[in-house]
Amino acid sequence: MGLYEDALEYHSRGRKGKIEVVASKSVATQHDLSLAYSPGVAEPCRMIAESEDQVYEYTAKGNLVAVVSNGTAVLGLGNIGPYAAKPVMEGKGVLFKKFADIDVFDIELNAVLPADVIRACEMLEPTFGGINLEDIKAPECFEIEEALKKKLKIPVFHDDQHGTAVISGAAFLNALELVGKKISEVKVVFTGGGAASIACANLYLNLGVRPENILMTDIKGVIYKGRVEEMNPYKERYAVDTKKRTLSEALEGADAFIGCSAGNIMTGEMALKMAKDPIIFAMANPDPEISPEEVLKVRSDAIVATGRSDYPNQVNNVLGFPFIFRGALDTRASAINEEMKMAAVKALASLAKQDVPESVSRAYSGAKFRFGRDYLIPKPFDRRVLLWVAPAVAQAAIDSGVARIKLDMPKYRERLEEHLGSIYTVMRGIKRRVIAGVHAGVHADSAGPTIGVDGNPIRALPKIVLPEGENLKIIKAASIMIEEGICEPILLGDDNLVRERIAEAGLTEALKGMKIIRPSSSPYRQEFANKYFERRSRKGVTPATAYQVMRQMNYFGAMMVQEGHADGVLNGMTQSYSSTLKPAIQCIGTKPGKRLAGIYMFIFKKRVLWLADTTVNIDPTAEELADIAIETARMAKQFMVQETKVAMLSFSNFGSSDHPAVLKVRKATEIIRARAPDITVDGEMQADTALVPEISQESFPFNGVAGDANVLIFPDLQSSNIAYKLLARLTSAEAIGPILIGMNKPMMVLQQNSDVNDVVNMAAITAMEIQMRKTGAMPRG
């Protein structure tokens, strides 16, 4: 099927359309029902009747936006009416929810007259926290928005105007920076003369473009003083004294073209008339005013943006409206004003200059992005946009006086992280606890906190060696580790190459003074070779081969930890799991009497699960399984506030089978109870019995974990490996791992092709392990 057939099938399959209403509270019992509706619902009604502001406390109003349209200017389809506009409005609701967790009701009005739209929105004010006007034709859209802003005490935002203006404004600022032009000097041509074009011009004036440097054109040509055809008061603002009458004439010597009109109205010949390094934003959809291919045929110096996802620099309104409303709703702003829009512009422009996470590249088939002519603004699937734009908008609302509540901005950013997934919350807690340990003076090679002359502990960072120090992601991650105070990273590699890549990444100052070691020329090479020979002399290693082995980053890094020159090692992003593990086992070894095992932590919205062993032991014995369970439970306990509950998994439920595979799990459970009575454990049980309380309540009331297990121990590698990969692929849970347990000293393995954030997260877990080993417990941050 083609795109259009796919779209029809997408909208019609299963439940029709794209949205549904889902209850945010449980309605599973008679008591729940009495709270959700009569008689219990009367109490919040009384509270709101006494004070209207309580509606934000007891209802969904504070997170609910109305997407309102009369269908008079839908996409490039024109006036197709409210029924035909509904798929677009539903889609808008999907984007609000997906990107900013804002709930939406789409409201399609059978109302052509502005007064009718205005009155309808007035009547809706008690229900909604904000109104997003959509696909209403100009000039009526200006009249409607202006009236509603005066009449309503909730934010009103016409996205066709301001969304395009905000996103293109951010791209415009960055394009000017790249070509080295001053905003006060550039000549800009706007085309369209409608809602988006006029809003862009208004915002660009606020950014610093001078009025005398603007020309606007529409379907009748240049908007000039004295023109009467197709004019209105909003266009009149941009009427100028000029002899130019056509778009081609307007573009002579222009620095920028901002297109919000129709496809294919600009030619390569027109582009040739523009000034050096022209900025061409051809944002008409689905066909731009001029295609990037046609521009680049004649102007290799041009910077081009469009509204399409199949070209670089997509000006997509989804980068704006969800996050602008998020900041407005969270401050209970009475309006979305110019200050808030400008804050969004500057936040987007700044974010584009940051390193782009690997997760964004994966969403775009592995494409790599870096600030430049083909990457002016962030991509829609960059989850950091929420954390940059919403706080900036919220702060602007507070500073400009339209916010009705003030926010603690650091705490607000933490709240926003929760919208992005539980992994942000979990990792923030881990990092805080690591930093708390650092400030307490905990260090792996000390007998306790080192006290300074002032009587306070001296801050001591765990030293983590990174054998893949030549890798750019590792370098970037190292800078974040230092910035966030997680650890003192040590990079291994060709020191000249590493410094060259540090400079390329613009991190010379950030990584100034960081230790970089080239193993082949290190003064410790011979010492490490001698130690390695002692360990491996009866396993085919000679002094000569030991010396050669110590050229390898993996072996050298492991020996640094073994000999006390570093506290932990983090490795494996560019090589297989076995290739990473082998040097560590040979140089560091496992804890005496302990089993090596790999754990995955799965972070769901409302629970965290630990799975073991997922990477090492193919078919462990009952004793080995017990050891894995005990080590996993104790590791998990350091990460979680709630009690650790271990479920020993099988295909049998508490004696329903006596197969040898079941007996092994049953015996392992008994061993755990004997060896570690402090651990809550039960088994053998099936996976759903471990996770669903109702099963145990009905059939196994004696179950010690009663459907509330958070540590799942699998009977063998085959089942655990299958399970964790199914969870990773079929659920929305975030996975962290593999976390290695059982090593004699801290050593963690990265997944191949990890992104920078993954590396930082694993460094925090490594630092936590270092501190745990020293103190036996983690400081609570």
Supply the residues annotated as catalytic.
Answer: 37, 92
- Which contiguous run of DSSP H or E holds residue 600? strand 597-603
Q: What are phi and psi of 714, to 5 degrees?
A: -90, 150
The answer to whether the CB of 710 falls within 8 A of the CB of 644 is: yes
Side chain identity at 414, as an amino acid letter? E
* Alpha-carbon span 724 to 727, nearest angstrom: 5
* The 3-state secondary structure of 140-189, one letter per residue: HHHHHHHHHHHHCCCCEEEHHHHHHHHHHHHHHHHHHHHHCCCCCCCCEE
680-685/747-749 β-pairing? unpaired
SS3 493: coil
Evaluate whether 558 touches 592 at the Cβ level (below 8 Å).
no
Q: Are 82 and 108 in contact (CB under 8 A)?
A: yes
- Cα(483)–Cα(160) distance, rounded to whole angstroms? 40
What is d(CA 764, CA 524) in angstroms, rounded to the nearest whole number? Answer: 27
Pairing of the two strands 515-517 and 747-749 = unpaired
Distance CA 260, CA 197 (A): 5
**Residue 323 corresponds to which tokens in the numbers above?**
């996050």
In the structure encoding, which two tokens stand for residue 621, read together? 């014995």
CB 730 within 8 A of CB 400: no
Token representation of residue 625: 């399984």
Answer yes or no: are the C-beta atoms of 696 and 707 closer than 8 Å: yes
Closest to 608 measured CA to CA, from 639, 653, 567:
639
Q: At what angle do helices 553-562 and 525-536 cross, to 10 degrees?
A: 80
- Residues whose CB falls within 8 Å of the CB of residue 54, separated by 6 or more in sequence, listed in order: 44, 47, 48
A 10 A CB-CB count for 469 gives: 27
Distances (CA, A) of 283 to 288, 315, 323: 6, 7, 21
Sort strands 645-649 and 711-713 into parallel, antiparallel or unpaired.
parallel
Q: Which two tokens stand for residue 24?
A: 């945010």
The 3-state DSSP composition of the chain as helix, strand, coil percent (nearest 5) reads 45, 15, 40
Tell which residue, 78, 85, 90, 142, has the closest CA to residue 114: 142
Angle between helices 622-639 and 756-775 (to 10 degrees): 100
Dig out the tokens for 409 from the structure. Answer: 């901005």
